[in-house]
Amino acid sequence: MESTSTTALADLVRRAQKGEESAQRELIISYQHRVAGFVYAMTGRSDYVEDLAQQVFIKMVRAIDRLQAPAQFESWLFRLARNTCIDQLRRQKLRRIFLPFGEEHENIPEPPGAVDSEELDALRHALAQLRPQDRALLALVQEGRSHAEIAETLNTSVAAVKARLHRAREHLREHYQPDHEA
Amino acid sequence: MPGNTFASITNLTMKPESAAWRALHDHASTQLRGGFADRALRAARGPADETWRAFFSLGARNVRPGFAERVLRAARAATDIPSLASHFALSAATAVVCLSAVFFLHQRNVDAADARNLAEWQQLVQAADDPDSNML
């Protein structure tokens, strides 16, 4: 069953690589919600989600013909998403340093209670305390990426991924308090 | 109530500092809000898978309808964004052009100065060879 869907995905990717717009559209529709969720986990800002997700898919459309192994599409897409989010967070940090009074809305996190429940609010708060790289690691695991895939994405070893993941989970637990008062 | 019985028995034999401890414990326990055990367990285990799933779908809700069409339109319209390598290549090419221009102008000035000096020397040599000349 899984191999059938993997083959179907590889076919779809090959068609998208040939520039077939319907295949590109199908890929975007299939992954838009997962990428949006990933972006939200990375940034914690709902107003960034559509913009960043759009950037990710534009990069995907423009670079898909350079993807060597169509079967690796998912890992590749989430690598694009991770890098796009980390670039955005880095730019935001630089902007905060050089323009401390400009674009003030960027410095304000979403207010507590902007999300549905105490637990989601706590998760958002806890993720915000982590480094973007650790956030990406946790979000990639939740996205179903294997340790080997993550290691490949981050150009590191599986053992290093496991160690970093362990530390990231520890940090997340430290900050995850569903009754926290922001 | 067993607690009260225990309290009445212990109160008879309790030292004053034990009573103080007990009062302290009672005060501390009133600080814990309902559902403390659940919250402690949740914090110890970290977010559950359902919480993660709900969190991701919360993000996914921010994608407005017609997203794929907007992305494809933007991808078609987007011009090539210069990469870091292309920035470096452009900088290197600019540097080469500027250095060539500087070198060319410098070389032209040097050649002109050489020609001028040579002409003056030739004039001097001619004057030296010609004893009637009163240039020296």
Question: How far apart (Å, rounded) are the C-alpha atoms in residues B35 and B38?
Answer: 5
Distance from CA of B85 to the nearest CA of A (A): 16
pLDDT in tens, A96-126: 777 766 555 554 556 554 556 778 888 888 8
pLDDT average, residue stretch B26-44: 80
Select the residue from A12, A25, A27, A28 to test the B interface by mutation, using most B Cβ atoms within 10 A.
Answer: A28
pLDDT band of residue B1 (cuts 50, 70, 90) is: very low
How confident is the model at residue A182, as a pLDDT? Answer: 42
Asked if A119's CB is within 8 angstroms of B58's CB, the reply is no
CB distance A53–B63 less than 8 Å?
A: yes
Question: Does the beta-carbon distance from B71 to A124 stay under 8 Å?
Answer: no
In chain A, alpha helices (H): 2-17, 21-43, 46-63, 73-98, 118-128, 132-142, 147-154, 158-175
Pairwise CA distance, residues A176 & A128, whole Å: 10
CB contact under 8 A, B46 and A28: no
Give the pLDDT confidence of A118-150 residue by residue, as tens digits: 788 888 888 989 998 999 999 999 888 899 988
Chain A residues in contact with B64 (beta carbon < 8 A): 50
pLDDT of residue B44: 76
Taking Cα atoms as reference points, which of B75, B80, B57, B65 lies closest to residue A54?
A: B75
Task: Let me know: does B39 contact A179? Beta carbons within 8 Å.
Answer: yes
Residues 6+ apart with CB under 8 A from B61: A46
Residue of B nearest to A58 (CA): B75
- Quote the CA–CA distance of B25 and B19 in Å, as a whole number: 10
Report CA-CA distances (Å) from B86 to A87, B17, B83, B89: 19, 78, 5, 5
Q: Pick the residue with more confidence: B73 or A1? A: B73
Residue numbers in B near A83 (CB within 8 A):
none
CB atoms within 10 A of CB B71: 24
Instruction: Give the range among A136-140, A153-157, B129-133 with minimum mean pLDDT.
Output: B129-133
- Return all residues near A99 (Cβ < 8 A) that are at least 6 apart: none
Say yes or no: ipTM exceeds 0.90.
Answer: no
Average of pLDDT values for B60-86? Answer: 83
User: What angle do helix axes A46-63 and B67-77 make, rounded to 10 degrees?
Assistant: 50
pLDDT band at B13, cuts 50/70/90?
Answer: low
In this structure, which long-range contacts are made by residues A135-138, counting pairs with CB atoms below 8 Å and at least 24 apart in sequence? A135/A41, A135/A42, A135/A168, A136/A42, A136/A82, A136/A85, A136/A86, A137/A161, A137/A164, A137/A165, A137/A168, A138/A41, A138/A165, A138/A168, A138/A169, A138/A172
Residue A57 has its nearest CB partner, among B49, B58, B71, at B71
C-beta separation of B75 from A61 below 8 A: yes
Cβ–Cβ below 8 Å for A37 and B60: yes
Mean pLDDT in residue range B5-10: 58
How many beta-carbon pairs under 8 angstroms link A with B? Answer: 112
For chain B, what is the total number of helices (H) and then of strands (E)? 6, 0
> Helix (H, G, I), strand (E, B), or coil: what is residue B34?
coil
